[in-house]
């Protein structure tokens, strides 16, 4: 059994319907993840600040997103990662509240 399954079962025991419990977990997954001891909360562009640039490899493409869940698109592995940097910088400077 996974932790996710345990959490769903606990929420349902506390009165949440299955669909509501799943929705709550999905919302929690989209929140910034701040690993203990990493980053600096004074700088939002770090892991500790909740807005690090994340680049994932999936199905022969690179996927760029912010740690908070904002998506910056997809590109091929042979392309420059600069594809994601400008939208991420704009996001951090204009869309994220101080």
| pTM metric for this prediction | 0.58
How do the domains of the chain map onto residue ranges? 1-30, 32-98
Residue 83 pLDDT greater than 60, yes or no: yes
In degrees and rounded to multiples of 5, residue 85 shows phi and psi of -65, -50
Whole-number pLDDT of residue 66:
92
Q: How far apart are the first and last CA of the chain?
A: 40
CA–CA separation, 9 vs 22, rounded Å?
A: 10
CA–CA separation, 18 vs 33, rounded Å?
A: 24
Per-residue pLDDT band for 69 (boundaries 50, 70, 90) equals: confident
CA–CA separation, 51 vs 34, rounded Å?
A: 9
CA–CA separation, 54 vs 25, rounded Å?
A: 21
Per the DSSP assignment, residues forming a β-bridge with 58 are: 61
pLDDT digits (tens, 9 = 90+) for 22-39: 888 887 777 666 555 555
């Amino acid at each position: 059994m996974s932790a996710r399954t345990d959490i769903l079962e606990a929420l349902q025991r506390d009165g949440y319907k299955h669909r509501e419990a799943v929705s709550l977990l999905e919302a929690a997954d989209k929140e910034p993840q701040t690993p203990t001891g990493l980053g600096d909360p004074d700088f939002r562009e770090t892991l500790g600040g909740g807005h690090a640039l994340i680049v994932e490899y999936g199905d022969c493409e690179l996927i760029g997103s912010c740690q908070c869940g904002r998506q910056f698109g997809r590109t091929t592995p042979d392309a420059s990662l600069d594809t994601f940097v400008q939208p991420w910088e704009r996001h951090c400077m204009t869309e994220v509240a101080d």
